[in-house]
Amino acid sequence: MKALLVITGRGMGGDAAIALNIARALEEKGVQCELALDHNAPGILFKNNGYSWHKISVPQAGGHAATRSATAKAGLRTLKAALETRKLIKKLKVDVVVGIIGGGAVVGCIAAKLARIPAVGVVSTPTDTKVCTKLNTSIVFPEVKLYREETLPENVKKSFFPLDPEITKGNRDIALEKIKEIDKKGLFDKNKQSILFSSGSSLFETMVRGLANATTPEYNLNKNYNLFLVGIPLEEEYLDLIDQNKIINLGYIDWIKDLYDLIDLAVLTDDGMMVQEALGCELPVIALTRVKYGRYHNMAGIFPGAVIEANIEDLNSKIEESLINLDEIKAKSKDYSKEILLASENIANIIIYEANKKKK
pLDDT tens per residue across span 112-141:
999 999 999 999 888 889 999 999 999 999
Pairing of strands 265-269, 193-203: parallel
Whole-number Å distance between alpha carbons of 169 and 133: 35
CB 308 within 8 A of CB 318: yes
pLDDT at position 148: 86
- Asked whether the predicted pLDDT for residue 252 surpasses 70, the reply is yes
What residues have CB less than 8 Å from 187, skipping those under 6 apart? 222, 226, 245, 246, 247, 248
202: pLDDT confidence band, cut at 50, 70 and 90? confident
Tens-digit pLDDT profile for residues 61-73: 444 444 455 555 6
pLDDT at position 62: 43
314: pLDDT confidence band, cut at 50, 70 and 90? very high
175: pLDDT confidence band, cut at 50, 70 and 90? very high
Torsion angle in degrees (nearest 10) through CA of 268, 272, 274, 276 = 110
Three-state DSSP at 93 gives coil
At 255, which helix (H) or strand (E)?
none
In degrees rounded to 5, what are phi and psi of residue 320?
-60, -45
Three-state DSSP at 267 gives strand
Tens-digit pLDDT profile for residues 84-114: 999 999 999 999 999 999 899 999 999 999 9
What count of other Cβ atoms lies within 10 Å of the Cβ of residue 26? 26
Three-state DSSP at 82 gives helix
Higher-pLDDT residue of 220 and 143 is 220
DSSP labels for 133-153? HHHSEEEE-TTSGGGG-SS--
Residue 237 carries which side chain, given as an amino acid letter? E
Percentage, residues of the chain above pLDDT 90: 76
Whole-number Å distance between alpha carbons of 189 and 194: 9
CB 14 within 8 A of CB 198: no
Three-state DSSP at 38 gives strand
Closest listed residue to residue 23, CA positions, set 112, 96, 73, 74: 96
pLDDT at position 70: 54
Whole-number mean pLDDT of the chain?
91
| Mean per-residue pLDDT, 7-29 | 91
pLDDT at position 295: 81
- Asked whether the predicted pLDDT for residue 292 surpasses 60, the reply is yes
